[in-house]
Amino acid sequence: MKNDDLIARSYNTIAGNYEEIVEIDKALEYYDKSVYHFEKASNDTLKAAVFNNIGNIYFYRKKDFPKAIDYYNQSIAISEKINNVYSVVLSKLNLTSLYFEEKEYKKGIVHLDYVEKNRDKIRIVDVQGYLYILLGKKYHYLKEYEQAEFNFKEAIRIGEENNSKIYLSDSYNDYSKFLFDVGKHEEAYTFLEKHQILKNEIFDLEKIKNAKIIGMDIALDESKRELSAINKEKLLQSENLKKTKIIVSLILVFLMLMMFLLYILYRNNIFRRKVNDYLEVKNEELKIAKEKAEEASKLKTQFISTISHELRTPLYGVVGITNMLSDEHKELADSPHLNSLKFSARYLLSLVNDLLQINKIEENKVVLENLTMNIHDEINMVSNSLSFIANRNSNKVVTMIDDSIPDYLVGDKLRLSQILMNLVSNALKFTQNGEVRIKANLEKREGTFCFVKFEVEDTGVGIAEKDLSKIFDKFVQIDRKEDDYQGAGLGLSIVKKLVTIFKSEIFVESEEGKGTKFTFTIAFDSDMTKVNEIINDIKVDLSSDMVYKVLVVEDNKINQMVTRKIMEKNNFKTVIVDDGYAAMEALSKEQFDVVLMDINMPLINGFDTTRLIRKKGITIPIIALTAFAKDEISEEAISAGMNDVLIKPFEPSKLIYSIETLVKRNND
């Protein structure tokens, strides 16, 4: 900026110099350059002055009036814009002079009026004198001779006072013309002469000036050289400046980027720390929740096994005594009370068993066993054992078994009969005076595997569409009426879980008022070598009629009685003791074939008693009779030295079978 102003001023000076030595084109060239730099420097005052100077060149030197007018007007416009009245006055004076020369007086007078109004702004004497000349010309044109005379005379006075030769020469000339016009020829001649003398003087001065011009040229060259040096330096500086600017901006951008990255890193860190803290808290909470859940699950399992143990112990008594009653008192066989007692006892037992079963399945403790089976036998067994309910509701049970199903299959018949029992008993419960069909069809064979499709269909009350999805859930009973039937809503959920263990799926179709149909398919192996292997494995010599001596260790009086009855029914001799120490004593005095040991007893439990017996070197078979769930205690029972575990209430035949097998093995 500063440089531009300096350059502009220098160009202006050079242009002025060229003008002085009448190198007009050069002068114009430098004025142009000067305008360019003033523009860059935004110096309007000087730009206006340069336009005025260029106007002067076109007017006085080149006599190109239109261009001169154009430059004056541009100068005026700029000066007006920046409110520089002095500059406007100068350009307007020049413009007036031009129009007067062109004899366009009216146009000139417009500008001259402006100058006159602002004549107090004129600071240079020559210019004041010049104004008088132009005013003189104006009034001369308007034929206001008095005014014209006055102004010409004022112009001459100022010129003479200040010895301004050029302008005085003009004043003489114009005044002489005026005098000539108004008929004052003599006076006109005098002033013309004065004008001539001055003109000559000026001419001489011009000559002297020309002599100086060569010297000026050198000075001019010098200043041109200086100017180009400044220009070059300026260029260099601006290039350096540009480079520095680029480097600085790059550094700035880089710094900003770094700051931004740092900020993001910082934010991320905070966020990560927060998330970490949050996760740690949640982890801790989860750990606590997991421990609680495990604790709860353990407690639940414990609770269920304790409750079922507590229930099974008295149930052993109830079921056993009921059986004894009906065995010993044949006359009571038809007693409705005894039948109800039997039914209730069995129902209670099945409920406890169901609960245990669900618990076991949910803990993934159920493993299917491979047993040989016959579909006819299984289905008949189910239908026979439910004949009581069938009769009660006046239902007919129809079994349809596909003849192409092999007679011997390998599979878990206990679990299968459990599924069928639940489905058929439901069908019988929810049907009155109807029919329940149990069907088994050979769906397909794959290698040695037979896929048997079972259907349990009834003509009962049916299940509403909306309830179909719920019936397999635990403890769900739909629209149960008071006198309907007994049940805990566990049957179908056990069925579904068992079918899943068989790697299958159960389907239900039902229509309210028409009946219900449950369908599922199970694959059984029919490989005869497997069947034979299993049969050989369980071959038992049931022909023996041995009379064994049995020591029963049991604290519960009712259970003592039930076990004694079972033993006596098989002609086994029985000695009963109340606790483990009494058992030790009995064993030391007498010879026994087998010990039936309760686990949960006061003073010393069944496990510890067994350990004591084994410590003494007695190898007699010991069978645990317990109300605990088998898998809970079998490990400890075996490690304590017991030979078998039976869960109360058990089928008497199972106990006899176990006794005979163990005693025989011990005696071999």
By the criterion CB under 6 A, which residues form the site for ligand ADP? 422, 426-427, 430, 458, 460-463, 471, 476-478, 480, 487-493, 516
By Cβ distance, which residue is nearest to ligand ADP?
A: 487
Whether the Cβ atoms of residue 339 and residue 373 lie closer than 8 Å to each other: no
Q: Which residues of 516-536 are buried (b: 16+ CB within 10 A; e: fewer)?
A: bbbbbbbbbbbbeebbeebee
3-state secondary structure at position 169: helix
CB 415, min distance to ligand ADP, A: 16
Q: Closest Cα partner for 459 from 538, 394, 368, 545? A: 394
CB 298, min distance to ligand ADP, A: 27
CB 458, min distance to ligand ADP, A: 5
3-state secondary structure at position 548: coil
CB 347, min distance to ligand ADP, A: 11
Cis bond upstream, residue 314 (ω within 30): no
H or E stretch including 157? helix 145-162
Comparison of 490 and 627: residue with beta carbon closer to ligand ADP: 490
Comparison of 321 and 478: residue with beta carbon closer to ligand ADP: 478
Comparison of 95 and 427: residue with beta carbon closer to ligand ADP: 427
Comparison of 54 and 456: residue with beta carbon closer to ligand ADP: 456
CB 476, min distance to ligand ADP, A: 5
**Helices assigned H by DSSP within 21-43:** 24-41
> Residue 309's CB: how many other CB atoms inside 10 A?
21
CB 614, min distance to ligand ADP, A: 45
Whether the Cβ atoms of residue 400 and residue 454 lie closer than 8 Å to each other: no
CB 451, min distance to ligand ADP, A: 24
CB 426, min distance to ligand ADP, A: 3
Whether the Cβ atoms of residue 80 and residue 88 lie closer than 8 Å to each other: yes
CA angle, corner 69, sides to 96 and 46, nearest 5?
95
CB 297, min distance to ligand ADP, A: 23
How far is the C-alpha of 49 from the C-alpha of 31, rounded, in Å?
Answer: 10
Comparison of 270 and 398: residue with beta carbon closer to ligand ADP: 398
Whether the Cβ atoms of residue 71 and residue 90 lie closer than 8 Å to each other: no
Comparison of 52 and 425: residue with beta carbon closer to ligand ADP: 425
Comparison of 267 and 480: residue with beta carbon closer to ligand ADP: 480
Comparison of 112 and 428: residue with beta carbon closer to ligand ADP: 428
Q: Which two tokens stand for residue 378?
A: 């299984």
Residue 234 phi, psi dihedral angles, 5° rounding: -65, -45
Comparison of 389 and 624: residue with beta carbon closer to ligand ADP: 389
CB 442, min distance to ligand ADP, A: 24
3-state secondary structure at position 443: strand
H or E stretch including 610? helix 606-615
Which of the 8 DSSP states describes residue 123? -
Comparison of 6 and 311: residue with beta carbon closer to ligand ADP: 311
3-state secondary structure at position 208: helix
Strand ranges (E), 344-491: 371-373, 396-401, 409-411, 435-446, 449-458
